[in-house]
Structure 1
Amino acid sequence: MSTSQENQGRFARRTVIAVGATGLAAAALAACGGGSEGQGGTDASEPAGKGDGADGGAPLAATADIPEGGGVVFADEGVVVTQPKAGEFKAFSSKCTHQGCAVRGVADGVITCPCHDSTFDAATGGATGGPATLPLPEKRIRVEGGSITLA
């Protein structure tokens, strides 16, 4: 076999291997990729099992569970619900805007991140101290009949 024929054979094998590997990679990505509407997947921005509230999704909490001047962090849902004043409920992302740690406590109108002691206003989500300078993004909720549901 000549050198030219050996090189052609080698290139042909490389092409087959490269094409085969590309096909396998594409199949793996398709199997692991997030679904979109109509494909049975869940939206990454919405926790699995939680409805949008319009379809009667499970309540997040009872209004009685949220202390006035404080709040509750729902880690699985990525949300913190506060009650700045009696009967007024607010919800924000529980992900600190500094480095993404989960906020932990809510007391005396202040949401606190334990990682670097950033603080946020429980009524507005605005950063009030620490290294965080951006507010916690607001989340939509619906308060009906003593229940709080993500909207």
Structure 2
Amino acid sequence: MSKPNHPRTLADSEAEAVLRNLRCSPRKLNVVAASIRNKPAGKAVADLTFSKRRIAKDVKKALESAIANAENNHQLDVDRLVVTTADVGRSIVMRRFHARGRGRAARVEKWFSHLRIVVAERDIETKADRRARRAAAKPAASASPAANEGVPA
């Protein structure tokens, strides 16, 4: 008998891609991952395409894989995808030695990382939508001080 399948940990409107053992330190990888968090998937791909960081190419591959998983495996709308999480974790550390003066050695650490990208289907808010929402909230905010005019501060 085979083992039972694990239950799905993500919501039905989410898809993920995982890259393991990337040859980049987690600290450097997290800079690139932070640049795509909470962005629409199309904009995140564009940002990674023109990024100067070397690791951005691998992050872009992972993001495109997550988008493909969402489209092909979960039948999600690609135009409504947003990068909800981009988690970076530590992997192994390769240790090498570098010869130094007077017969000594210095340790060189070569860090590896894990990357997990989750995309979710959401309504993407445009700038016009945000302006309309703020304009609708503004009159309500300005009405509240008028109600408190008689109350001393």
TM-score (norm 2): 0.24
Higher helix content, 1 or 2: 2
With CA pairs under 8 Å and 6+ residues apart, which has the higher RCO, 1 or 2?
Answer: 2
